[in-house]
Copies of this chain bind each other. A is one copy, B any other.
Amino acid sequence: MESTSLFPHFSFWPQLTSAQQTKLLSHTNTQSLPKGSLLHSGNADCMGVLLVQEGSLRVYLLSEDGREVTLYRLRQGELCMLSASCVLEAITFDIFIEAETPVTISRINAAVFQQIMEENIYLKAFSYQLIAERFSDVMWRMQQILFLGIDRRLACFLLEESASVQSPQIHLTQEQLAKHLGTAREVVSRMLKYFVEENMVTLFRGGVTITDEEKLRRLAQPSF
């Protein structure tokens, strides 16, 4: 696969001059990495902007006691701006990025990306919009998990229900789960999506099936 063939799919691409396009392409390197590779840890060196050509990256925070919170995943065709925190003065917190599957990624040189961002308002708007969208998602999750304990409460409730019906299949709608937890259906819906991504449950029409009871149990334990 031509390493940079995904660029033309981005909305900013046609707005770049040919010189800018050429410059971006010539400062992009593509490499393949095995599953489990750590691409970025804490406030390490600036690795530039990452473009996922194949596979999946997991972006997460790590607490001092080793607890992880997955912020989001990046899949084929998605750009990671946070790995270029050196480019964006606005970004001041530390994240970790690992290859969740074997991956092929392109790294765009941070300084070159920054220079074109300053020259081209379309690339600037695109980049900051991408960050704002990710951040909103992350803030929501941080608030639900760390501030309101919704993840722990939902995990507890599912385990109790499962024990009570003696089955991993729980026949309760998201509306009903929300009522039990005293929260909104949308909150339950988004948190269940997170549980699914973390391979702890699967969903069926009108209910939830626990697929990794041990992992759910670890989550249910208060960690503070």
- Choice from B121, B129, B139, B224 contacting A139 with Cβ under 8 Å: B139
How big is the A interface, by class? 20 to 34
- This chain: copies in complex: 2
Residue of B nearest to A223 (CB): B224
Q: Give the CA-CA distance A122 to B125 in the complex, in Å.
A: 8
A64 within 8 A of B: yes
* Contact B132–A93 (Cβ < 8 Å): no
Within 8 A of B (CB), among A105-137: 121-122, 124-125, 128-129, 131-133, 135-137
Q: Which residues of B contact A143 (CB under 8 A)?
A: 61, 93, 142
Q: Give the CA-CA distance A45 to B210 in the complex, in Å.
A: 37
| Interface-facing stretch out of A28-36, A84-92, A200-208 | A84-92
Q: Which residues of B contact A159 (CB under 8 A)?
A: none
| Additional pairs, 4, CB under 8 Å, beyond known A61-B147, A93-B136, A138-B139 | A63-B148, A90-B132, A132-B132, A142-B146
Question: Chain A interface (Cβ within 8 Å of chain B)?
Answer: 61, 63-64, 67, 69, 88, 90-93, 121-122, 124-125, 128-129, 131-133, 135-140, 142-143, 146-149, 222, 224
Q: State the 7 A-B residue pairs at the shortest beta-carbon distance, nearest first.
A: A224-B224, A135-B135, A128-B128, A125-B125, A146-B146, A90-B133, A131-B132
